[in-house]
Structure 1
C-alpha cells in the first residue's frame, strides 16, 4: 500500500521528533511528534508556574489568569500559534526545496525544525537533542539559511556586510538578519515602490514606521539559488522591529496568533472590531484608536490586504505587557485589483465605498470605543493624508500607472470618509 506523502518515513534516519520552545533564553515548553504524525505541545512546568510571563501569546492566556491547559494533540498540524511562524506559498515552497533533505513538502513540523533558530519575534524552536539532531547541521555540511518570515510575498531575512564593499547577504548557520528584503513581483509592477511610498505616507502623518530603503539586486551577494528571485526591479529593505540594534530579539505576535487562527483563515478569522476590542483589553484605548487611524489609512489609499497577519503586538522590555507594533506590509492594492475591498469586515462591510459614517459608528459600538473618538480619528487621518500625499517626494519613484490609480482612489474615498465629520 502506498504511503501518504505527509506520513513519516519509517526509514528516515535522524528525523527530529521533539522540539524545545524558547522565548529568548527561557524554556517555554516542548513540541513532540508522535507516531501517526500527531503533534503535541506542552508547557514547561517552571514556565507554567510563572502564570505565563513573559508572554508567549495571548491565545494561551486563560480568562481567569495564568495559562490554559495544554492544547490537544493535532493530526499532521502544529498549534495555530506555531503554524503562523512559518512562511506561506512561494516562500514556503522555496524553503522546502532549499531544505529538501530535512523537510517533506507540506509538513509543518519538519519546516519548523529546520527554520526554528530564526523565527519572527523572540521565539526559538530547537531540536531537543541540540543542533546535531537536525541532519542538515551535521559537522562537515555547509551552513544553511534557517530563517522564517510569515506571509506569502517572496522575502528574505538579510544582514548588512561590514567592511569593504558593504552590501547585503543572507545569514547562514547561527547568524540572523536585522533586515527584511522584499523582492519585486513578476505579476504586479512597481510593488516595491508602492510599499515604499505607502510607508513614507504613514511616516509623514505621524505613524510608527520602521526604517526602509530601496536597493538594487546588485547590492546582494550569496543568495542561495533556491531562494533567488528572478525578477527585475528595486528591492525594498526594511529594518526588522523584532530585532534591536545589537541583534537582540524582541517578541511579537500577529493577530492570527492572538486569536488562534490558522494562516488559511487570516481574511475571515475575525473582524476589525475584534482587533480593536483586543487592543483595548490588552494594551489601551489609545492603541485601539491608533488602529482606527491605520484602518482609515488603508481605506483612503485602497489597501485591501490588511488581514490578521498584517497587524501585530510587540512585547518590549521584560515581555510582560504588549503594545501595538509598528505599521508594516502597507501598500495600495487597487492598482492591481481595482475591485479590491478591505481585508477584514469593518462595521459589517468590506467594500471601500461603503465605509461612510454609519459603518464606522457600527464598528465603534461593536469595539466598545467612544463613537466620537473613532469618527475624529478617521477625519483627522484623511485630512492629514490629503495634506501630505499630493506633495510626497517618494511619489516620483512609483510607476505613473500605479500612482494614477492610487490618486483616483484617494479622490473617491476622501468625501466618503469625511462623512464622519
Structure 2
C-alpha cells in the first residue's frame, strides 16, 4: 500500500482566495518560509483583497517579503490556533504534523481556514492523511485563538444535533466549549453578545446548547468542564456555504500572534478604519470599545477585531463583533487588552483618555465623546433587564454588575 503523504513532505503550497490564486508559500531547506504574490494577481492590483498589509503607502502592492526563518509569514501564522487549542490539534494530527511547526500545521489545515483563504499543495495532491488506514477521518479546519472550539455543522433530518463537517469548509458554526479555568464563560459571552445586539451592534446568531447535542467530538478537544456550549454562526460563511474573506488586525499590521497585546494601540485600529472604510466605521469601533470598558472585557486584543470583505471582496467593512465577554469575574485586576489614550486601567478611562484617543486616531473629539456617552446610556438602559442575564451563574453576574455600576458612573460624570 502506498504511504499516505504527511505535512512534513510538503514544500510548496498555493494560496487561494476563494478560487483565485493569489500567491505561493515555499518552504526551503533550513526551514525558511517565503510568500510570493502570483504575477497574474499582482497585475490586478490586488483584487480581491487578501490583506491590507500587502498595500504600500502609495496604494499599490508591496514587494514580496523576505523569507522567514522557522515560522510562517505573519498573515498565515495568524490563521492557526494557539496554545491549548493548537496543542489539541497537533495531538489530533500526531504523526502528520510536527509539534510547533507552523508550515506543517498549515499544510494539514489549509482546506478550511478563517475567511476565504485556502492553502493547498501546489501539486494538487492531498497534503496530509485525512483519515488513517484503520481509523476515523481527521478534522481539517483551523480556528484562530486559544479557547477550545470547533467548526461544526447542524445535522438535518430526524434527531438533528451537531457534528464535525465531513467535507472541506462545511462548518456553519463555531462551538465554544466550557472551561474549567473560567466557570460560566459560555453563558457570560452569550449574555454579552445579547447585550451588544440589544444596543444596536452587528452580532452573529448564537445559542447555548448542552454537550449531549454534539456527536463525534474527538477526545483531544473535550475540555471535560461543566457548563453549556456556546454556538455562534460563522460570519465568514454564507447560508449556502460560500466563503467570505476576513482578516484580523494582527494580520493587517503584519504582526505575529505573540504581539496581539502590545503590537499596536486602539487608536491605530481606529485610524485604519477611518482611512480604509469611513469615519462611521471608526465611531462604531468607539462604541464597541465603550462596551468593552463598561462590561470589563480585558481580552479585546488585535485578533479580536476584524475586517470583512463581502461581495466581490474589493471593499472592506468592519466585521460583526465577536469574542465579547466580561473578563473581570475571572481576573479582578484586569484592564484593557490594548492602550487607549495611553491608559489600560478601566477606572482611568475618563474624558481625558478618550480625548487623547481621538486626537491620536485623528477623529473629532466631540464625535468620540458623544459615541461613548450614547453607548453608556444604552448599556445602562438594557443590561439590567436583559433576559439573557438569567443564564449567567450568580457569582459571575454579581462581579459583572459591580463593574458595570462603577464604569457607568466613571463614564457619565
Bucket of the pairwise TM-score, normalised by the shorter protein: over 0.9
Q: What is the CA–CA distance in structure 1 between the aligned matches of 2:69 and 2:137, rounded to whole Å?
A: 31
Aligned to 1:414: 408
Of the structure 1 ranges 57-66 and 343-352, higher mean CA displacement relative to structure 2 is found in: 57-66
Partner of 2:9, secondary structure, is coil
Deviation per residue, 1:78-125 (Å, 9 max, x gap): 110000000001110000011112110000000000000000000000
Matched, 1:165 2:187: no
1:56-71 matches, cutoff 5 A = 56-71=50-65
User: Conserved in 2, the CA contact under 8 Å of 1:146 and 1:172?
Assistant: no
Shift of 1:231: 1.4
Structure 1 counterpart of 2:76, from 82, 101, 110: 82
Matched, 1:318 2:315: no
Partner of 2:95, secondary structure, is coil
Q: Which runs of 5+ in 2 are unaligned?
A: 1-5
1:122-137 matches, cutoff 5 A = 122-136=116-130
Shift of 1:142: 4.5
1:304-383 matches, cutoff 5 A = 304-383=298-377
User: Conserved in 2, the CA contact under 8 Å of 1:38 and 1:74?
Assistant: yes
Shift of 1:226: 2.0
Q: What is the CA–CA distance in structure 1 between the aligned matches of 2:87 and 2:184, rounded to whole Å?
A: 24
Q: What is the CA–CA distance in structure 1 between the aligned matches of 2:144 and 2:44, rounded to whole Å?
A: 29
Structure 1 counterpart of 2:112, from 100, 109, 118: 118
Shift of 1:170: 1.0
Q: What is the CA–CA distance in structure 2 between the aligned matches of 1:341 and 1:160, rounded to whole Å?
A: 37
Q: What is the CA–CA distance in structure 2 between the aligned matches of 1:58 and 1:260, rounded to whole Å?
A: 9
Aligned to 1:282: 276
Matched, 1:197 2:177: no
Q: What is the CA–CA distance in structure 1 between the aligned matches of 2:278 and 2:340, rounded to whole Å?
A: 20
Q: Which runs of 5+ in 1 are unaligned?
A: 1-11
Shift of 1:229: 2.6
How many equivalent pairs are there? 409
Partner of 1:27, secondary structure, is strand
Aligned to 2:18: 24
Q: What is the CA–CA distance in structure 2 between the aligned matches of 1:175 and 1:201, rounded to whole Å?
A: 30
Normalised by the length of structure 2, the TM-score is: 0.97
Structure 2 counterpart of 1:392, from 386, 393, 409: 386
Of the structure 1 ranges 29-38 and 225-234, higher mean CA displacement relative to structure 2 is found in: 225-234
User: Conserved in 2, the CA contact under 8 Å of 1:51 and 1:65?
Assistant: no
Q: 1:348 to 1:216 in 2, by over 3 A?
A: same
